[in-house]
Amino acid sequence: MGEVTNVTEYQAIAKEKLPKMVYDYYASGAEDQWTLAENQNAFSRILFRPRILIDVSKIDMTTTILGFKISMPIMIAPTAMQKMAHPEGEYATARAASAANTIMTLSSWATSSVEEVASTGPGIRFFQLYVYKNRKVVEQLVRRAERAGFKAIALTVDTPRLGRRESDIKNRFTLPSNLTLKNFEGLDLGKMDEANDSGLASYVAGQIDRTLSWKDVKWLQTITSMPILVKGVLTAEDTRIAIQNGAAGIIVSNHGARQLDYVPSTIMALEEVVKAAQGRVPVFLDGGVRRGTDVFKALALGASGIFIGRPVVFSLAAEGEAGVRKVLQMLRDE
C-alpha cells in the first residue's frame, strides 16, 4: 500500500491487523456515533485566514505544560488496554512519547502498570484516574503513580457509567485472557468477567463510583500534591466550578465520543470553555485531531495543547513503537 503519509491511514491498517472485537472496541463511539463523526467533521468547517509575507524561517514549537517544557503542544491521551493493539502496548507508547519529548497520559485501565511504564526510562507522564467505589484502591493507585514519577492526574469526570457502545455489546467485549488491567492486578480488580453485554460495561457498573461529585475533586487534592486536570468538561458552567474547586487545568473532551452521544464536538465546545477559564488555568482538547491543521485550529481557538488517542492505538497496532513515533512526527511536520 506504499508509505503511510498521514495519521488517518493507520486506521485501515489497524482494522486489517486486529481481531474484530479489539478493533471495534478502539474504533467505536456511543449509540448512533453522531458525535464520533462530528468530532472530526467540525474541524473541517473551520477555515483559515492566512496572513502572508511574515518571516517563518525560524519556527519554535516548544511549549510549557504545567511547568514542564515539551517539544510541541501535541501530547498522548490516555487509551485503555494497549497490549490488545500490540504486545509491547504502553511500553512502546511511553518510549515513543519520550523520543518525541512530549507527554504521555497513562490510562488507569492500562495493560502495563505505572511502575512498568516508569521503568521505560525518563519522560514526563500524566496519570488518568477513574475513581473506584473503594477509595483505598484510589488512594493507593494515586500514591503509586506519584512514587513512579508521574507529574499530574487527569481525572476523568464523564464516566459515572460506561457509554453504550453497541459493537462492544454485539461482540461481548472482554479483555483477552492473557492480559490484565495491571494497575489493579494485586487487588483482584485486574480481570474482566465475560458478560452477556459488554464485559467492560459490567466492570464499570460494579467498580466505578457513580456518586462522584465536586467534593471528590477536593478530596483528591488532600491525598496528592500532583496537579489535577479535569478531563471531560464541555461547558462554561463546569469550567468555572472546576476552577473554583482547585483544578489546575481543563481537558475539553467527550471521551472520544464514547460516552454521551449528541454532545458537541470538542473543537466547537472549546471556545466557551476558554472564555470561562479567563486564562486562570490552561485548557486542553482531545477528540478528532488527525491533522496538523486540527492542532493549529485548537491552538488558535485558545487551547494550550491537544491530546491524541485513537491515532496512537491504530499506529501502535500497525507498526508498534515506530508507528506511534511516526504519528507524532507527521503531526509535528504538518
Residues with catalytic function: 255
Instruction: Determine if residue 80 is labeled as part of a ligand binding site.
Output: yes
Q: Which three cell numbers stand for residue 304?
A: 494550550
Instruction: Determine if residue 119 is labeled as part of a ligand binding site.
Output: no
Q: Which CA distances in Å does 75 have to 78, 191, 304, 308? A: 10, 29, 11, 6
Instruction: Determine if residue 78 is labeled as part of a ligand binding site.
Output: yes
Residues 270, 182: Cα–Cα separation, whole Å? 34
Instruction: Determine if residue 188 is labeled as part of a ligand binding site.
Output: no
H/E run at residue 251:
strand 249-252
Q: Which of 103, 105, 83, 80 is nearest to 92 (CA)?
A: 83
Q: Which of 45, 43, 13 is nearest to 27 (CA)?
A: 13
Is 263 within 8 Å of 281 (Cβ atoms)? no
Residues 294, 40: Cα–Cα separation, whole Å? 9
Instruction: Determine if residue 165 is labeled as part of a ligand binding site.
Output: yes
Instruction: Determine if residue 128 is labeled as part of a ligand binding site.
Output: yes
Instruction: Determine if residue 310 is labeled as part of a ligand binding site.
Output: yes
Instruction: Determine if residue 289 is labeled as part of a ligand binding site.
Output: yes
Instruction: Determine if residue 224 is labeled as part of a ligand binding site.
Output: no
Instruction: Determine if residue 286 is labeled as part of a ligand binding site.
Output: yes
Q: Which three cell numbers stand for residue 280?
A: 486562570
Can you say which residues are annotated as belonging to the binding site for glyoxylate?
A: 25, 165, 255
Can you say which residues are annotated as belonging to the binding site for FMN?
A: 78-80, 107, 128, 130, 156, 231, 253, 258, 286-290, 309-310
Can you say which residues are annotated as belonging to the binding site?
A: 25, 78-80, 107, 128, 130, 156, 165, 231, 253, 255, 258, 286-290, 309-310
